[in-house]
Amino acid sequence: MLVFEELAVRLGGRDILTPTSLTIGRGEFVCIIGPSGCGKTTLLRAAAGFVPATSGAVLRQGQPVRGPSREAAFVFQDYGRALLPWRTVEGNVALALEAAQMPAAQRQARIQQVLQTVGLGAHAQKFPAQLSGGMQQRVQIARCLAQQPTLLLMDEPFGALDAMTREGLQDELARLVREQGLTVLFVTHDLEEALYLGDRVVALRANPGPDRPSLAQLIDVPLPHPRDQLSSREHPAFLRLRRELHGFLGHGHG
């Protein structure tokens, strides 16, 4: 689905990413972790076509990524700024269909379908200000699903939410991904979130350079699906990997 071929990004005279190679398979859920400023969001934005490569390339389904595409949907961390406050829930989801030039007569059925999928069917006529943070983030996810992407790029989408809301949305996202066969690249600062959601975890290091490549570790997460907030987090593999990654992040970032 997605291949990074020796991708390097240099911005403002600084190496944000040094040559990084990574292959993400169709239907895979890959989480990216690392300290602030290590290039997590830059990697995600390069996959979306928002940031050009300084060298190397990003391929999506074998084709070079040269700009944004409806095949790849991007979920931003700041759901409040991602939604139009003067549009209803329905109106915000409709944006994706308007951009795709879907005939108006066909939009309503799609909008209702995705709102039901994310549990917002009864809130179509509300405005963002009338919704909780978790519900606003569901609207943004619904808007992304409406464009029927094959790839979902998520930049710390649950970082600003309280713990209970966050856990609920983690489970909701895991369910959606399995049901719809989506491929996900998910940036997070939260080690436990990365291990709970990911099939693999990519760890990036801060201050990369010629002798310090951006990609520090690539870890398989052998936890069975579907996962459970209690039993999965108590699984021996979960605890072992959490300790390993905590050590990586806590001691000089590799």
Tens of pLDDT along 153-182?
999 999 888 989 999 999 999 999 999 899
153 and 59 co-located in one domain? yes
6 and 107 co-located in one domain? no
157 and 242 co-located in one domain? yes
- Residue 16 DSSP SS3: strand
- Which of 94, 129, 148 marks a domain boundary? 148
Q: Please, are residues 23 and 183 in contact by the beta-carbon 8 Å criterion?
A: no
90 and 132 co-located in one domain? yes
Q: Which residues form the domain of 109?
A: 83-148
Torsion sign across C-alpha atoms 82, 88, 89, 93: negative
Q: Could you tell me the end-to-end alpha-carbon distance of the chain, in angstroms, rounded to an integer?
A: 28
Q: Please, are residues 189 and 156 in contact by the beta-carbon 8 Å criterion?
A: yes
241 and 132 co-located in one domain? no
105 and 39 co-located in one domain? no
Tens of pLDDT along 47-65?
999 999 999 999 999 999 9
Question: For the chain, what is the domain count?
Answer: 2
Query: Considering the domain boundaries, does residue 58 fall inside one?
Result: yes
Which one-letter DSSP state was computed for residue 58?
E
128 and 203 co-located in one domain? no
156 and 138 co-located in one domain? no
104 and 61 co-located in one domain? no
User: pTM higher than 0.85 for the full model?
Assistant: yes
